[in-house]
Amino acid sequence: MISDNFLEKKLHTFFGYTSFKEGQKQIIDSLLKRQSTLGILPTGTGKSLCYQLAGKLLNQTVLIVSPLLSLMQDQVEQLHFIGEKKAIAVTSELSYQHKYFVIHHLREYDYVYMAPEMLQKEEVLEQLKTISLGLFVVDEAHCISQWGPDFRPDYLDLKIIRQKLGNPVTLALTATATPEVEQDICRQLFNENESIKIVRRSVDRPNIFLAAKQVDTQQQKDEYLLEILPQLATPILLYFSSKKKADEISQLLNDRTDLKTAAYHAGLSKKDRYSIQQQFMNDQLDAVCATSAFGMGINKKNIRCVLHYHLPADLESYSQEIGRAGRDGQRSLALLLFNPADIDLQRHLSSNSLPDDGEIEYYFNHKDLINSCLQGSDKKNLLEYYAGRFLTPLKLKQIFKKRRFEREKKLQELIAYVETAKCRRNFLCKYFGEEKKADHNVDCCQPAGQPLVLDNFLLHKPGNNYTKSLEDYRKVISHLFNENKR
Amino acid sequence: MPSKESLLYFFSRTQSRRPAVIRQVLLNKRTVSNLFWGMQYHLLEWLGTAPQLNAGAFDNFITQLKAENFLQEKPAGLLLTEIGLKEKENYEHIHYRPKNPEFFQKLDEKMWGDVLQLLIQVGSELSYCNKRYYVSATSYKAQFYFKRWFQQNKSAGLSKTIKKNLLSFLAGKLQEEADIFAASFNGHGVIAKTAVQLAKSSETYTVEDINTLWRDYSVMFAMYLIKQNDVFYSLVKPLLKNSLLSNSAFTTYELFNKGVSLEKIGQLRKVKLSTVKEHLLEAAIFEHNFTFERIINQNEYKILADNFSEKAPLDWNYQQLKEKNIQLDFFKFRLFQIERSRYDF
Ligand SMILES: [Zn+2]
């Protein structure tokens, strides 16, 4: 390893931190030795810092492939925030002229974010070839695994693109990966003869207490929520699989409890989403009722409880979402509410995003019809992608059948987690192919069938500074603009 | 999406109106027929004010309003009933209605909404000499646009000027409305309230009302800034639209103003003569200086005036000319009808 002091000093100079988190230093060290690396680091453990600092030290352009516009924008904003102005996301949001300018001046940027489809463009690839790329980063690398829930067909082309760019040193990053997915990433992204350094940090978060509560009806669930939530330490993050339910429960909590609550989902305006994030970050809200859209790019340290109102899709997303609790190291709670009827809801959500046999037939035989029916949907994108690879309808049916099967398997694993009468922590570790961590005790988790004791998580905090009534606009404006300075 | 009751506003107790025309006007669907009827209903200032409108939901609302006897079917459209009028007045009493809907189409409203948020936030942080903050969620386009302006106009007094303008703009407004508008901005140590939160603090306003109020106040503030003629003029001016015409109609109209004949315009633009005529009808509706005399000659004016002057333009019937064997293009008839029913908005 490079001398300890050196990296730590640089970390402090560029980012103001005094020490690395587990895994970061190994990754940066490996990259500086020009060794391609797969980093499996849970959310909130500073994945992006790895390539940001490596980029600084290599002093060459870093290209980051990322699947989601919002993710890219969050990253760019965070870089801007720390004073790194030469970062840009080349997305559809840029005007044509601006995009053209950026693509022809790539070397002037330190960090360039792109969605994989942007790399399909010949013009972009040609320009990338002309600069010396310090690092090729594949964010959310599990998207490359066909059997995973977040599979992105475009990711499959990254291997070829990487070859065309002369196999630059690559960092693949993901928050969670089962051993199967880990192998899949290596196979799909890297060449056979390449040696890949793998740095894996445990998904286990000892300070998070794992619990699940089974109820028999929807009504019971809401009653339980109204009873327990006002007693729990805040801030609390609640996850839902539907926007409508997130709105409803947020309203319910605002009406029937003292909690200051807001709903957060893709149905809100950008402006309101920004406000809710900022209010939550600044402890002006006790609870946020969110869909999975919330959390990306949110780095709030003191979340005391992550509560799932609905079942998540699988244990991968579950462990990512509960990983937002207790980043300050303090005791926190991960509680999953479970009504057996939720299984069908989640099954419906999972399979609904995949085309069925009928839709595949229709796609090949009555293209215009299906195009108008599936306009803009994930299904259409998937069908187009596969059809573009000259696959037969039969082959497609097999592919989606297999994926449906995999999703069902993952759902069953999740249900097994909810229903396990053994240690939940060990269950999770085993699922992600990790060694057993520690012996179970009362502070570790609540296995199914055991009473749920929440004494450790009840806390009353003084009322927050959020005001419900409107302030006089003159007062607001005088807060906004400082009289003394200018 | 406007609420069901809010749609009653667009109907009249005396003039039957076709709901499809109202829907297309709100959505900014510009066929000459929609524009012509929108003009007859005096609703053109509402053009494109509800771009998010869902056509299916709109039609359902109308069906419900009929079932509730707020609207009544007539041969020429729907008429507001007595109780419909009451309902409409009740609604207007407690909900927010844009004061200057015509402003919405005079500038790039969406872009300005973003630019305004940036202006307040950047100005606020500047007044505290802070450079480390997360920029409000706005489009990249708006951020680049604003950044360029800011680099050229950044000055020690900028924050003060923004503050002064905001205060004097809001001074004449209703207190609650001004409070709501001011609560929607992010700045140094100040986080905007969301529409849901503001609706909760208000006695009567819904989330929809809050969103409408914000849009309305933003565009009113833009028009206010334009009038001040200070440093912000150059921020707002490029976002104003040159003309209310669609781009294609505007091009045709420009050629027409240069004295090019209708046939020649068709050739130059590679469009049919009927399309050229439609563009000019659109121009006649929106452009105050439209020269009707270039198309309708003295003699034709006389014929049209003789035949139709007694009735209101809406009741004119082209058939009447045919019956009298008078040869006159429908285009000229329609233009005359437009000239006689124009109003300021
Ligand atoms: Zn345990």
- pLDDT tens-digit readout, B125-172: 999 999 888 888 888 889 889 999 999 999 888 999 999 999 999 998
Do residue B167 and residue A474 have CB atoms under 8 angstroms apart?
yes
Q: What is the per-residue pLDDT across A77-109, written as a single tens digit (0 to 9) for each?
A: 888 877 888 999 998 888 888 899 999 999 999
Q: How far is A421 from chain B (nearest CA, A)?
A: 42
> What value of ipTM does the predicted structure carry?
0.84
**A429 with A467, same domain?**
yes
- Mean pLDDT for the stretch of residues B218-246: 92
**Residues B72-88, mean pLDDT to the nearest whole number:** 95
Residue A479 CB partners (closer than 8 Å, separation 6+): B187, B189, B190
Is the predicted pLDDT of residue A36 greater than 80, yes or no?
Answer: yes
Note whether residue A350 is domain-resident.
no
Examine the domain organization and report whether B305 and B273 are in the same domain. no
What is the domain count for chain B?
Answer: 4
For residue B182, the chain A residues in CB contact (below 8 A) are 471, 473, 476-477
Residues in A whose CB is inside 8 Å of some CB of B read 77, 80-83, 91, 93-95, 98, 254, 262-263, 268-276, 278-279, 282, 284, 468-474, 476-482, 485-486
Cross-strand bridge partners of residue A90: A114
In B, which residues are within 8 Å of A282 by CB distance?
191
Are the beta carbons of A296 and A248 closer than 8 angstroms? no
Boundary of a domain, candidates A140, A173, A200: A200
For CA atoms B213, B215, B219, B221, give the dihedral sign.
positive
Mutation for A interface: B190, B194, B206, most A CBs within 10 A: B194
Prior bond to A235 cis, omega within 30? yes
Mean pLDDT of chain B: 91
Residues A340 and A470 in one domain: yes
CATH number at residue A260: 3.40.50.300
The C-alpha atoms of residue A365 and residue A383 are separated, in whole angstroms, by 13
Which distant-in-sequence residues (6+ apart) come within 8 Å of B325 by Cβ?
A: none
Please give the average per-residue pLDDT across A403-428, as a whole number. Answer: 92
pLDDT of residue A486: 44
Distance of CA A369 to the CA centre of its chain: 35
Domain end position, chosen among A166, A200, A234 = A200
Domain of residue A393, residue span: 355-407
- Within 10 angstroms of residue A224's Cβ, the number of other Cβ atoms is 13
Mark whether A281 and A379 lie in a shared domain. Answer: no
Q: What is the pLDDT of residues B16-43, one digit of tens each?
A: 999 999 999 999 998 899 999 999 999 9
In this structure, are B111 and B231 located in the same domain? yes
Of the residues B61, B94, B127, which one is the last residue of a structural domain?
B94
> What's residue B315's pLDDT?
78
Q: Is B122 on the interface with A (CB under 8 A)?
A: no
Tell me: do B113 and B144 sit in the same domain: yes
A224 and A293 share a domain?
yes
Would the CB atoms of B193 and A275 count as touching at under 8 Å? yes
Tell me the CA–centroid distance for residue A337 and ligand 1, in Å: 18
Quick one: B123 and B227 in the same domain? Answer: yes
Q: How confident is the model at residue A437 (pLDDT cuts 50, 70, 90)?
A: low
- Least CB–CB distance from B183: residue in A274, A278, A470: A470
Cross-chain residue pair A482–B190, CB shorter than 8 Å: no
Given CB atoms, is B233 within the 8 Å cutoff of chain A? no
Statement to judge: residues B269 and B302 lie in one domain: no
To the nearest whole angstrom, how far is the Cα of A361 from the nearest Cα of chain B? 30
Q: Which amino acid is at A277?
A: Q
Task: Tell me which residue of A442, A447, A412 sits closest to A427, measured CA to CA.
Answer: A447
Q: What count of other Cβ atoms lies within 10 Å of the Cβ of residue A335? A: 24
Q: Which of A384, A407, A430 is the last residue of a domain?
A: A407
Q: Which H or E run includes A163?
A: helix A158-164
Q: What is the pLDDT of residue A406?
A: 84
Cβ-defined contact of B186 to A474 (cutoff 8 Å): no
Task: Report if residue B285 sits inside a domain.
Answer: yes
Is B43:B110 a contact under the CB 8 Å cutoff? no
Give how far A272 is from chain B: nearest CA, Å: 5
Residues of B in contact with A479 (CB under 8 A): 187, 189-190
> How near does any CA of chain A get to the CA of B308, in Å?
48
Q: Choosing among B179, B180, B185, B200, which should be mutated to test the A contact, i.e. which has the most A CBs within 10 A? A: B179
Q: Are residues A187 and A216 in the same domain?
A: no
Residues in chain B with CB shorter than 8 Å from the CB of A271 are 113, 117, 136-137, 184, 192
Distance A206 CA to ligand 1 centre (A): 10
Quote the pLDDT of residue B168: 95
What is the full DSSP assignment across A399-450?
HHHHHHHHHHHHHHHHHHHHH-SS-HHHHHHHHTTPPP-S---TTTB--TTS
Contact of B187 with chain A, judged by CB distance below 8 Å, is answered with: yes
Is residue A129 assigned to a domain? yes
Tens-place pLDDT, residues A116-144: 989 989 999 999 999 989 999 999 998 88
Q: What is the pLDDT of residue A350?
A: 77
Distance from CA of A469 to the nearest CA of B (A): 5
Tokens 């303090």 found at: A330
Search chain B and give the residue with CA nearest A261.
Answer: B197
A301 in the same domain as A446: yes
For B280, residues 6+ apart whose C-beta sits below 8 A from its C-beta are: B249, B252, B253, B256, B262, B295, B335
Residues A294 and A424 occupy one common structural domain: yes
Q: What is the mean pLDDT of residues A345-354?
A: 81
Task: Note whether A222 and A265 are same-domain residues.
Answer: yes
Q: Is pLDDT above 70 for A346?
A: yes
B307 touches chain A (CB under 8 A): no
Tell whether B214 is covered by a domain: yes
- Is B199 in the A-facing interface, judged by CB distances under 8 Å? no
Residues A265 and A173 in one domain: no
Rounded to the nearest angstrom, the minimum Cα separation between A308 and chain B is 23
Identify from A88, A473, A474, A483 which residue to disrupt to test chain B contact, counting B C-beta atoms within 10 A and taking the largest count.
Answer: A473
pLDDT at A67 over 90: no
Contact A486 B163 (CB under 8 A): no
The answer to whether B130 faces chain A, any CB pair under 8 Å, is no
Contacts of B134 in chain A (CB under 8 A): 77, 81, 278
Indicate whether B138 belongs to any domain. Answer: yes
A328 falls within a domain: yes
Q: Smallest Cα–Cα separation from B128: which of A478, A475, A474? A: A478
Asked if residue B194 is part of any domain, the answer here is: yes
Residue B176 C-alpha, separation from nearest chain A C-alpha, in angstroms: 8
B234 and B315, same domain (yes or no): no
Per the domain annotation, does A213 fall within a domain? yes
CA pair distance A138, A173, nearest whole angstrom: 6
Any idea which of A407-416, B201-210, B247-256, B305-314 has the lowest mean pLDDT?
A: B305-314
Comparing CB atoms, the residue among A263, A268, A284 nearest residue B191 is: A284
Give yes or no: residues B211 and B261 share one domain.
Answer: no
Is the per-residue pLDDT at B85 higher than 90? yes
What are the pLDDT digits (tens) for A144-156? 887 666 778 788 8
Q: Is residue A30 part of a domain?
A: yes
Q: Are residues A340 and A359 in the same domain?
A: no
Interface mutation vs chain A, best among B134, B165, B177, most A CBs within 10 Å: B134
% chain A with pLDDT above 90: 50
User: What pTM was estimated for this model as a whole?
Assistant: 0.79
- Find the A426 Cα to ligand 1 centroid distance in Å: 7
How far does Cα B311 stand from its chain's mean position?
Answer: 29
Q: Looking at the structure, tell me whether residues B118 and B215 fall in a common domain.
A: yes
CB contact under 8 A, A81 and B134: yes
Please give the Cα distance from A302 to A309 (Å, whole number). 20
Q: Does residue B100 sit within a domain?
A: no
Q: Cβ separation of A81 and B124 shorter than 8 Å?
A: no
Cα dihedral A87/A93/A98/A101 (nearest 10)? 60
* Among candidates A77, A480, A481 on the partner chain, residue whose Cβ is nearest the Cβ of B135: A77
CA distance A259 to A228: 12
**Which range is least confidently modeled, A283-292, A397-406, B81-90?**
A397-406
Residues of A in contact with B156 (CB under 8 A): 486
Residue A424 Cα to ligand 1 midpoint, Å, equals: 5
Of A94, A470, A480, the CB nearest to B190: A480
Does any CB of chain A come closer than 8 Å to the CB of residue B56? Answer: no
Give the highest mean pLDDT range of A18-27, A352-361, B3-12, B294-303: B3-12
Instruction: Look at residue B99 and tell me if it is in a domain.
Output: no
Among B131, B137, B163, beta carbon nearest to A270: B137
The two structure tokens encoding residue A275:
């406000």
Query: Are A229 and A252 within one domain?
Result: yes
Is B176 part of a structural domain of the chain?
yes
Range of the domain at B162: 105-239
- B252 and B193 co-located in one domain: no
Question: Ligand 1: distance of its center to the CA of A425 in Å?
Answer: 5
Residues B220, B279: one domain?
no
| A453 inside domain | yes
Minimum distance, in Å, between the CA of residue B264 and any CA atom of chain A:
34
Residues A237/A305, Cβ–Cβ less than 8 Å: yes
The yes-or-no verdict on residue A366 having pLDDT over 60 is yes
Instruction: Give chain A's domain count.
Output: 3
Residues A164 and A308 in one domain: no
Across A173-182, average pLDDT: 88
CB contact under 8 A, A279 and B163: no
pLDDT at position A297 is: 59
Q: Which residue of B has its CA nearest to A272?
A: B194
The average pLDDT across A221-245 equals 93
Considering the domain architecture, whether residues B121 and B216 belong to the same structural domain is answered as yes
Residue A309 has pLDDT above 90, yes or no: yes
The answer to whether residue A334 scores a pLDDT higher than 90 is: yes
Indicate if B147 and B196 belong to the same structural domain.
Answer: yes
Q: Give the minimum alpha-carbon distance from B133 to chain A in angstroms, rounded to a whole number.
A: 6
User: Do the domain assignments include residue A349?
Assistant: no
A412 within a domain of the structure (yes/no):
no
Q: What is the pLDDT of residue A311?
A: 94
